[in-house]
Amino acid sequence: MRYRLILISLPIMALLAVSAGFAYVHWSKGGAGTGLYSRDWSPDPVQGYWDPDNFYQSTETVAGVFKAELCIQCHEGITPGIVADWRASRHAKGSEPVYCNDCHGSDHQQLRLPTPDVCGSCHEQQHGEFRDEARYGFPSHVLAMERAVDAPHFADKPIAEVQSCVQCHSVATKCDSCHTRHRFDAAEARRSEACITCHSGPPHPDDESYFASAHGKIYLAEGKDWDWSKPLIKGNYKAPTCAYCHMDGGRHQVAHKSLWKFGLREINPHTSKNKVLRKRWINLCSDCHEEKRAAQWLAELDKERKRAWEKLYAAEDVLKDLRSDDLLQPAVGERPPYPMGSWWPRERIGFFEGQASAFYNVSAIERDYFEMWYFDNLGSYKSAAHGNFAGVEDGHNKMTASLDRIKAKASELRASSNAKQMSEINSELSRLWNRGVYTEYNRENN
């Protein structure tokens, strides 16, 4: 009888636990912000432009409901540039023009910033392709904002840095990240500059790796003379741009060939799913190259990733050994706490432990690993993916140097690990890390 009660109670308890989990997630999304940590951060006013569906507030300085002609007449005096862009767009030149109030509404105190759903009311195919990215998971444009606001380190960051992140992650919440308002010219979006507005810098050096490749060099030398009104299909462009490869044929779906998931985590490239993705890449590259050559480039990319992860795992092992021996200094208990800290605070090492935590509150050797993983590693990966072979070797040379530096610092930490020295170091580091204008300001204002 007792065993029967246990068997009956277990699924009931599981059901209650699942229900409680759903209730907690629903509650957590009910704060001033958005996402899983909406109760732990408040939006800056500029957030209305990055995530208009959730935060945009229409101006209250003008009241009234206006027809399109009045919108144009007024804004020709106030903001003539956007009117000129609209007049040059297909929206203005069509047989049935798309006017201001079609996108923004007519009531001036209830205006909206157009979101993908607004654009999708006319551009159904493009919007459908964009939404379809979600089934591929991260990374993808459509999930970019969710990726940001559902990450614990998003709420941990200083407010100003949050805005730096979401201005690019807002590609999920508005179309003008790629199509500049109010011209919305497809020719602009076909050029690589439309992409490198966000895809640049150490975490994602697509611009540097692409422009250093043979494709990029041709683009830089001759691209200004190309006819950008042509579709992204074979024969229209001498060398591919970002959009030609990632949005082939004009497809608004950039996640359908993502093999290595941004280069930030190790995957098995030989799964049935990835075999399908590889065929898609080979078919695309075959627009200009032989299939065997395209397959060889992918095999070289796989080898590069294997080399990279051997170095990264070696560095992780060094840090995990230090953590096991309590030699990472300052230790997690001596650092300013993360507002989103877990119930088991400890030094987090590697992607699967929450590598994003390495942005803040870490020791020097942990920061070395973070830069090795997030900067040097990605520089090599992006170079391999874009055909910049010199960049691959440069990235691996930097990773090797980082690994050597990490090993040397680990040896120094072990050499100075007697109790008296560590006690003095801990006391001093705790004081330095927990005091200071920057730390105290963020503790009070974030």
SS3 content of the chain, % helix, strand, coil (to 5): 65, 0, 35
Sign, CA torsion 341/376/351/137:
positive
How far apart are the C-alpha atoms of 138 and 128, rounded to whole Å?
18
How far apart are the C-alpha atoms of 211 and 387, rounded to whole Å?
10
pLDDT tens profile 207-230: 999 999 999 999 999 999 999 999
How far apart are the C-alpha atoms of 5 and 376, rounded to whole Å?
57
Please tell me the predicted confidence (pLDDT) of residue 328: 87
Strand partners, 107: 65
Domains identified in the chain and CATH numbers: 200-254 (no CATH), 293-445 (1.20.850.10)
Please tell me the predicted confidence (pLDDT) of residue 446: 62
Do residues 219 and 241 lie in contact, with contact meaning Cβ atoms separated by under 8 Å? yes
State CA 229 to chain mean position distance: 29
The low-confidence residues of the chain, meaning pLDDT below 70, are: 1-7, 336-342, 352, 354-360, 418-439, 442-446
Please tell me the predicted confidence (pLDDT) of residue 30: 85
Please tell me the predicted confidence (pLDDT) of residue 357: 53
* CB atoms near residue 202 (< 10 Å): 12
Q: Which residues contact 362 (CB under 8 A, 6 or more apart)?
A: 335, 347, 370
pLDDT tens profile 263-302: 877 888 888 888 899 999 999 999 999 999 999 999 999 9
How far apart are the C-alpha atoms of 58 and 255, rounded to whole Å?
34
Please tell me the predicted confidence (pLDDT) of residue 258: 85
Q: Which residues contact 154 (CB under 8 A, 6 or more apart)?
A: 35, 37, 41, 148, 162, 165
DSSP 3-state of 107: strand
